[in-house]
């Protein structure tokens, strides 16, 4: 079993312009923010981002990294909308595919199973079909029921954050919800996991081992790497900092917190607190 440990810079060095990147987590919960910040610190551009979105989407949109966004929602949870996403969306500056949350999940499952699509009832009778005219329906061969043919959401890369991982790529979540991080990894050609700590052995129930080494290409140890999103039970969402992010001028925020790499970010946050 090989040692898959990397740095955030190593991960970004394997990415390229125009890639489709899936980002795990949920809203403002357990997002791989250190890896997102590494992308912000790079020249990468024209990305397609696939996400149950939170500040990962907002930061990348504000920095001009995103060409297209595929999403089920973009929320900071305790702040209804990410302001940078909201501004770009209202201005029509993004190419978007907005999906029902279940359709999004179905698309990841289809990609993970190497299928072109999966049938689902979600989306029928809604504006999802109107705003995404490329979507098609199919008839069940068993009872002729009409269903949405949700296309696979194939990803070039998946980025997810876990509480613990070993050097080989086995990874564990310790919070209340796995979200869909395993589906993101199964849907992607390359899979990178950041974590709070690299360990030799795992504690807790075996069911919390969400990812196995066959699903992971790189492991990045990034303590506090999900900040300012939550990473329970290691830490809660930094509500005070999230509010600062939501209300701050982008240029001022970026200059203060995003101009010194990950170490500079963590030091700036500690100084601000």
pLDDT in tens, the chain (273 residues): 899 999 999 999 999 999 999 999 999 999 999 999 999 999 999 999 999 999 999 999 999 999 999 999 999 999 999 999 999 999 999 999 999 999 999 999 999 999 999 999 999 999 999 999 999 999 999 999 999 999 999 999 999 999 999 999 999 999 999 999 999 999 999 999 999 999 999 987 778 999 999 999 999 999 999 999 999 999 999 999 999 999 999 999 999 999 999 999 999 999 998
**Are residues 123 and 135 part of one domain?**
yes
For residues 80 and 135, membership in a common domain is answered with: no
* 179 inside domain: yes
Bond into 228 cis (ω within 30): yes
Neighbours of 95 (CB within 10 A): 11
Q: Which helix (H) or strand (E) holds 165?
A: strand 155-165
Parallel/antiparallel/unpaired status of strands 155-165 and 188-198: parallel
What pTM did the predictor assign? 0.96
Provide the CA 14 distance to its chain's centre, in angstroms.
17
Range of the domain at 129: 119-151
Last residue of some domain: 130, 151, 172? 151
Q: Are residues 168 and 219 in the same domain?
A: yes
């Amino acid at each position: 079993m090989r040692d898959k440990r990397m740095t955030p810079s190593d991960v970004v060095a394997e990415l390229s312009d125009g890639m489709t990147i899936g980002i795990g987590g949920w809203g403002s919960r357990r997002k791989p923010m250190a890896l997102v910040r590494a992308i912000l610190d790079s020249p990468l551009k024209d990305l397609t981002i696939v996400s149950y979105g939170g500040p990962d989407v907002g930061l990348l949109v504000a920095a001009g990294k995103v060409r297209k966004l595929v999403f089920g929602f973009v929320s900071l949870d305790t702040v209804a909308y990410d302001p940078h996403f909201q501004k770009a969306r209202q201005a029509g500056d993004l190419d978007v595919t907005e999906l029902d949350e279940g359709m999004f999940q179905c698309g990841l499952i289809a990609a993970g199973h190497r299928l072109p699509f999966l049938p689902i009832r979600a989306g029928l009778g809604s504006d999802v079909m109107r705003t995404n005219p490329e979507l098609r329906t199919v008839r069940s061969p068993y009872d002729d029921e009409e269903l949405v043919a949700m296309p696979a959401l194939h990803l070039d890369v998946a980025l997810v954050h876990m509480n613990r991982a070993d050097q080989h790529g086995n990874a564990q979540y310790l919070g209340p919800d796995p979200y869909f991080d395993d589906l993101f990894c199964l849907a992607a050609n390359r899979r990178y996991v950041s974590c709070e700590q690299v360990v030799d052995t795992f504690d807790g129930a075996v069911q919390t081992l969400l990812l196995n080494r066959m699903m992971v290409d790189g492991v990045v140890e990034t303590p506090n790497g999900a900040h300012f999103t939550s990473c329970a039970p290691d830490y809660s969402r930094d509500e005070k900092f999230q509010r600062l992010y939501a209300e701050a001028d982008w240029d001022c925020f970026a200059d203060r917190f995003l101009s010194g790499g990950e170490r500079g970010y963590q030091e700036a946050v500690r100084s601000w607190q």
